[in-house]
Amino acid sequence: MRGQVLMLACVLGTGVATPAIAYHVVFDAGLAGTTSANYVSVVRCGMIVNFPSSAGAFLLAGGLGVGASGTTIENGEEVVVTLPAASLGVTYSVSASTNSDGDGLFGESYVEAFDASDATLGVRAMSGIGQKNLTNLFGGVPIKKYQITGGDDTIRVRQLGYDLPAGVVVDSYFALLSAETFSASSFTQCGVTFRGSPRDAYLYSYGISVAGGNAEVYVDGDEELEIEFDAPVAGAGYTLDDATNVNGGTLGGHFVEAFDRNGASLGLRSASGLDPIDLSDPLLFFGDEPISRFVLIGIADQFRLGRVRFVPEPEGAAVTAALALASLGAARRRLLRISAR
C-alpha cells in the first residue's frame, strides 16, 4: 500500500531493517474542475499554490495553466508552490508540453527550490513531460517552496506532490473549483480515496456525496461514503459542508464507522452537525487508535462532506506496531520448535 510511515525495525528477529514509504500527498489539478475563472491562489492538500506573474490561473481536466492562454504555463509565467513544512518526496508532473522554439526539445522551463529558511537551492533547467522529482534534483534537501517558470516552450502541470512530515496536519477542502460535476466508483485526492455506495462517489463545487438517490449532491439515507487513507493516520476528522434536518432532531444525523490499521472495525458512532468532527475524541468517538479508513452512513437526514483532516501516524507508533509483530512472530516460532520436540 502506498504511503506508509518511514521506519526502520528489526522484523521477526532477523535483524534486517525494513524501510517503509512516507505518506505521499498529491494534489491532482485534473480533479479540480475545468474553469475559466482566474485564481490568484489555490489551497489544496496542505499546499498553497500562487500565480504571481499574471491575472491568475485556469484549471482544466488536463492540469493547470496560467495567464494569457489559460491552458499552459508560458514564457515568464510563474507558479509558486508552498508546502506546509519543509518536505522530502517533492514532485510535480507535466502533462503536456510544446516545442515552441523549434529546437527539438519540448517543455523547456525552469524550477527554483527553497529550503526551510527560504534560502534558494538554485535554479534548474527542465524539459519533457512526466514526473519531476525535485528532492533528487536538489540533493535531498527538504524543500519548503518551489517556483516553476515558463521558458521558451509551454507546459501544463497536472500533479503536485510531497511526503507529509510526521506531526503535520492536512486539513483540506474537497470540492471542484467550478460548477462542473465528477463521479466515479472511486477517486483519490490528497492521499485520500473516496468511494460511494451503492452508487459512485460524486464530486462537485461544494463537496463530496453519493451519486443518484433522492439528491445526488447529498449522502442520502440508503447511501454510504467511504474515506480511505493511504496509510493509517492519527487525528482523523471531517467536516460536513451542508446537511438537512428531516425529523426535527439534530442536523445531518448519521453514523460513522472507523477501522484500525488491520481493517478491524472500531465500532459505530453517531454524529451530526456542521462543526468539525474529531474521530480521535475518546469520549465521543475512537480515541487515539490509528485509523485506516472510515465510512459515513446515511440514516434519514442528508449531508455532504466538505473537509477531511488527518496527521500521518506517529513514527514511534508505527515502529511499536512492527516490533509487536516481530515479537509475535518470534514467539510463534519458539512454540513451533517446542511442539516439534
The CATH number assigned to the domain holding 107 equals 2.60.120
Instruction: Tell me the sheet residues that pair with 44.
Output: 47
216 in the same domain as 124: no
Could you tell me the three cell numbers for 25? 500527498
pLDDT of res. 167: 85
118 in the same domain as 152: yes
**Alpha carbons 201 and 212: distance in angstroms, whole number:** 10
pLDDT of res. 38: 64
Q: Which of 129, 163, 197 is the last residue of a domain?
A: 163
128 in the same domain as 224: no
Residues 173 and 307: beta-carbon distance below 8 Å: yes
174 in the same domain as 307: yes
201 in the same domain as 247: yes
Q: Which of 100, 132, 163 is the last residue of a domain?
A: 163
Is there a domain that residue 123 lies in?
yes
Is there a domain that residue 336 lies in?
no
195 in the same domain as 156: no
Q: Which residue did the predictor score with more confidence, 96 or 51?
A: 96
Nearest to 146 by CA among 95, 83, 85: 83
* Model pLDDT for residues 227-251, shown as the tens digit of each residue: 999 999 999 999 999 999 987 888 9
Could you tell me the three cell numbers for 86? 519543509
Contacts of 40 (CB under 8 A, 6+ apart): 50, 51, 56
Q: How many residues does the chain have?
A: 341
239 in the same domain as 108: no
pLDDT of res. 71: 79
pLDDT of res. 140: 97
Residues 330 and 11: beta-carbon distance below 8 Å: no
Residue type at 65 in one-letter notation? G
Is there a domain that residue 229 lies in?
yes
Q: Which of 163, 197, 217 is the last residue of a domain?
A: 163
Is there a domain that residue 10 lies in?
no
Ranking 19-33, 83-97, 192-206, 227-241 by mean pLDDT, the lowest is 19-33
259 in the same domain as 151: no
184 in the same domain as 58: no
pTM equals 0.82
Q: Is the pLDDT of residue 336 over 50?
A: no
pLDDT of res. 35: 58
pLDDT of res. 65: 79
pLDDT of res. 54: 59
Is there a domain that residue 8 lies in?
no
132 in the same domain as 106: yes
Q: Is the pLDDT of residue 285 over 70?
A: yes
Is there a domain that residue 21 lies in?
no
pLDDT of res. 3: 44
Domain interval for residue 54: 28-163
pLDDT of res. 37: 57
Overall domain count for the chain: 2
Residue type at 178 in one-letter notation? S
201 in the same domain as 139: no
Residues 286 and 266: beta-carbon distance below 8 Å: yes
Is there a domain that residue 318 lies in?
no
Is there a domain that residue 16 lies in?
no
127 in the same domain as 212: no
